[in-house]
Structure formats: structure tokens, C-alpha cells
Structure 1
Amino acid sequence: MRRNTHKKGQPGRRRRLPGAPGRGTLEKEKPPILGLIQRGGQVILHMLANVQQATIKPIITQAVGPGTLIHTDEYDIYARLPAWGYAHKTVCHAHGEYARDEDGDGFCEVHVNTIEGFWSLLRSWLRPHRGISQDKLPLYLGFFQFVHNARRRGKALLSALVSGLVG
């Protein structure tokens, strides 16, 4: 008997997580997480109380230098980035755009693949824990952020860990 087949008229197997689609909220027990990552560099993670511009502005202004070019999707929370002093380019996932070559050199400069890849790693790492409480989630995020940011230090990882624990 062949695998992965189903009878005509029967729906195929669902392969996504249960739950309502859309943005998470604390009330839905799917808290929103803001992630900032420099290509080839450090990541910063914050669990948010809500998804509003007033909530993300202090995080972004503290972590990102003025005038920096920021790439995002077209979620409207990022609409004020230019007014806050940042260059801003977007990709529109709703129209099937995931990367864009703006100067015609064959290299897609505008994309959010770096953070999308990071979210994939984080989800894979969290999956075996099966249901982390919202109280503990910032601790898990902090640990994963530390490991990600320290991964290139090699032998210096131990001293970074000790200084992180002491500091």
C-alpha cells in the first residue's frame, strides 16, 4: 500500500499547528515577540505586551543606530520607521514577494530572510518543550538569544557565559 495517499474527496492531512491564524496576543496565550537581527550579526528578542508603535519604538531606538536601513515586511506597525529617523524598505509577502533586487545586479538586497531563518531555528528549539508558560518564555528567549549571539565566540564562550551570569 502506498503512503501519503487519500481517497478522492477526502481532505489531506493538516500539517500546521492548531489555533487561529493571525498575530498573537497575550490574551490568546500566543504573546507577540519582536526580533531585531543584524545580517551576520547579533539578535535582540523582546516579548511584547501588545503590537503597537508606541511599544516597539523604545526598543528599536535603543538597539538600532539612527539612519540605519531596516528591512521589514509590510505590517503597518513599521510605518513610522522613516519618521523615527531610519531608512526603511519592505517586502510584501501578501503579493508573493520575499526578496527584491533593486539595482539589477542579480543579488536580492531587500529581504527579511535573516530573521525568518532565525524564527525557524527558535521554533525548532522550542518545539520539544511543548507549551511554555508566558511567565517563563522571556527566560527561554533570553537563553536562545545568548546562545545565538555567542555561537561565533568559540573558546571565548565560557568567559561570555561566566560574565553574563555574574553581571
Structure 2
Amino acid sequence: KGRCRRLEGAPGRGTLEKEQPPIFGMIERGGQVVIRMLENVQQKTIRPLILAVIAPGTQVYTDEYDIYARLPEWGYGHKTVCHSLGEYARDEDGDGFHEVHVNTMEGFWSLLRSWLRPHRGISQEKLPLYLGFFQFTHNVRRRGRGLLQPMLSALLTRAV
């Protein structure tokens, strides 16, 4: 039997108007993450972010959500997994390594949700600050006191 969905919000994508702002994320496997709060989830909204962050010609892995359909037109390799069919990873070349997956980003979303959960009721105005801090801490890969030096360095280089 599936999970009970009575505590979840209304179906559909979030928007600023519904006070459920969409958060768009891109992560390099084993590398940096970029997350942004968006007004909506449309190709015209995500295209500038993708072009600014991902090098042309890069292989991009996504789920089958239709906003990613134009990635090949924009100059990217594109492979998908179909979650609705129960596909979460695929081995295309038979080497035993499932290279087509979005598990890296899914794992990041899980960490972000767990980190945001105690901060119940974050306003839309403050949410980008929380996202920026979480992105920073993920990218420097340090916790506790070890985070102080990279944070001071980033603040001082931006202030100059």
C-alpha cells in the first residue's frame, strides 16, 4: 500500500502566487550545487540559469518533466529517467554502473528538506537567503567551526 498523501499540499507545481515557490537545482556529480528560488517552472525561466551555470556540450541528466525538453536545442546532451514507470537509474552501456540517474540531486533535496524542516514558516522574502547559505555550506563541504574560515573569506572577498 502506498504512502498516505493526506498531509501533503495540493497537487501540481508550486508558484509564488500559491506561496509555494519552486526551487530549481543543478548539481555536478561529486561537485558544486546551484539552487535558486524561481517565480515559476517554465523553460523561459530556467534557460538563463542553465546557460549561466552549465557549459555547452555537457551531458545533463533529468527526470522526464517537459521543461527539460529543449536541452538538446540549447546545446546540451540530455538523458532522462522515467520515475512514473519506476525507473530510477539505468545502465546504458552494460558495464554494471548505472550512469543515467538523478539520484545526486534527489539526495541533495532530501538534505535540504531536513535542514529546512526546523525553520518552519520561512517567508518567501527570506527563503533565498536560507537557500544561499545551504548552497554555500554544501559547496565548501565543511561543518561547524570548519565553516568559519571559508565564510569569512567569501565575505571579505565580496566586500572588496
TM-score, length of structure 2 as denominator length: 0.90
Q: 1:126 to 1:156 in 2, by over 3 A?
A: closer
CA 136–16 in structure 1, closer or farther in 2 if over 3 Å, else same? farther
2:137 maps to 1:144: no
Structure 1 residue 27: deviation in Å?
Answer: 1.4
2:106 counterpart of 1:116: yes
| Percentage of pairs with the same residue | 75
Q: 2:66 aligned with 1:91, yes or no?
A: no
Q: Which residue of 2 aligns with 1:33?
A: 23
Deviation at 1:116, TM superposition (A): 0.1
Give a deviation string over 1:82-101, Cα, whole Å, max 9, x none.
00000000001111111101
**What count of residue pairs does the alignment treat as equivalent?**
156
Q: Distance in 2 between matches of 1:156 and 1:132?
A: 26
Which residues of structure 1 form unaligned runs of 5+?
A: 1-11
* Counterpart residue number, 1:71: 61
Read off the aligned partner of 2:77 and give its amino acid letter: A
Report if aligned partners of 2:137, 2:143 keep a CA contact under 8 Å in 1: no
* Aligned-pair Cα RMSD in Å: 2.1
Change (3 A) 1:134 1:153: closer
- Shift in alpha-carbon separation, 1:155–1:28, aligned structure 2, 3 A: closer
Letter of the structure 2 residue corresponding to residue 20 of structure 1: A
Q: Deviations over 1:88-130 (max 9, x none)?
A: 0000111111110101111111000000000000000000111
Select which of 145, 148, 158 maps to 2:148: 158
Is the aligned partner of 1:46 residue 2:75?
Answer: no
Match of residue 117 from structure 2: 127
Q: 2:70 aligns with which of 68, 80, 95?
A: 80
Q: CA deviation at 1:22?
A: 2.4
For residues 140 and 3 of structure 2, the distance between their equivalents in structure 1, rounded to whole angstroms, comes to 39
- For structure 2, which runs of at least 5 residues remain unmatched after alignment? none
Residue number in structure 2 paired with 1:107: 97
Structure 1 length-normalised TM: 0.86
CA contact (8 A) 2:35 2:135 kept: yes
How far off is 1:158 after superposition? 3.5
Q: Please identify the structure whose Cα radius of gyration is greater.
A: 1
Q: Per the alignment, in what secondary structure is the counterpart of residue 29 of structure 1? A: coil
Q: 1:152 to 1:40 in 2, by over 3 A?
A: farther
Q: What residue number does 1:23 align with?
A: 13
* 1:29-57 CA distance string (max 9 Å, x none): 11011100000110000100111111111
The worse-fitting range, judged by mean Cα deviation, of 120-129 and 13-22 is 13-22
Read off the aligned partner of 1:87 and give its amino acid letter: G
